A = this chain, B = another copy of it.
Amino acid sequence: MITQKRTVIYVSDGTGITAETLGHGLLAQFDGIEFQPLRFPFLDSLEKARNCLVRINELNLSEGVQPIVVMTVTDHEICELLHQGQAFFIDLFDTYIAPLEKELGSKYTRSVGRSHGHAHPQYNARIAAMNFALAHDDGISDSDLKSADVILVGVSRSGKTPTSLYLSLQFSLKAANYPLIPEDFERNHLPSRLMPYRSKLYGLTIAPEQLHRIRNERRPNSKYSSLENCRYEVAAAEKMMRREGIKWFDTTSRSIEELSVQLMQAMQGDQTVHKFS
């Protein structure tokens, strides 16, 4: 039940993605309130700050309640100007930078967009990982599987593609994925091209009822999407993964974020992966 509406203003001199992640993490903890986001990214001049200030105060008057401002702004003058607004402020840098400077014995650099910058050394690794994930989606290519960090296996529509892409985009992991198909179950062994990479294989499984719903949206009333076939494929895939000693995860009620982090934990436990250390 929604009992109140509040406007949340995200202000940043960069993309605002950090501010929005912060605000979302905090505000998702409050039930019954509808938060209306308003975004001011790339706010990097006093002129833009003045416009934002006007908007903050307008909202305070028109809504009869002060807006919530979540901000990550590095420039001190801009921060001070914004804080003149009639709002409830969650100011990440204002809260933590001074204590961090003290703790680290180092001055902060006040440079914009550090965490998402193109010049960030990890940026090229992320793009390479994403290209790898796309090139190795759904068993498209066998080439260069040896440079994969992880190879996900599972039946069609068990969640391999979004998880692979998320692993690449968020964690710069080279994630391939490979479908387990009825022919594999009849032959009763893993696709032979995966054999050399056993230590990189992790499985995804899913409740047959949910698989049936997902497949039915794509190919309604087909054998492929029938509940009976979904039950068969899931049972056969789990049997194969169990026999081959492949760790697997159930995607039925997990988000791709949760799955991805659990996969990374399993990989850390199974081998020394320097990327994580």
Chain A positions near chain B (C-beta within 8 angstroms): 3-4, 6, 14-18, 21-22, 24-33, 36, 39, 41-42, 68, 72, 74, 88, 90, 92-93, 95-97, 99-100, 103-104, 106, 108-111, 113-120, 123, 127, 130-131, 134, 137, 161-162, 165-166, 169-170, 253-258, 260-262, 264-265, 276-277
Instruction: Contact check, B106 vs A32: say whether CB atoms are below 8 A apart.
Output: yes
User: Chain B contacts of A257 at CB under 8 A?
Assistant: 15, 17, 116
Which B residues lie within 8 Å of A169 (CB)?
Answer: 165-166, 169
Residues of B within 8 A of A165 (CB): 130, 165, 169
Cβ contact of A261, chosen from B41, B127, B170, cutoff 8 A: B41
User: A36-B277, A41-B265 given as contacts; is B88 within 8 A of A29 (CB)?
Assistant: no
Query: A142 vs B134: C-alpha distance in the bound complex, in angstroms?
Result: 20
Q: Is the pair B18, A255 in contact by a Cβ cutoff of 8 Å?
A: no
Separation in Å of the A176 CB from the closest CB of chain B? 15
Contact assessment for A104 and B31 in the assembled complex, using a CB-CB cutoff below 8 Å: no
Q: Which of A109, A169, A253, A257 gathers most chain B CB within 10 Å?
A: A257
- Known contacts A42-B261, A113-B258, A117-B255; can you find 20 more A-B pairs with CB under 8 A? A3-B106, A4-B104, A15-B257, A16-B261, A17-B21, A25-B92, A25-B115, A26-B93, A29-B74, A30-B108, A33-B104, A39-B276, A41-B261, A42-B262, A68-B103, A88-B100, A113-B255, A117-B258, A118-B253, A118-B254
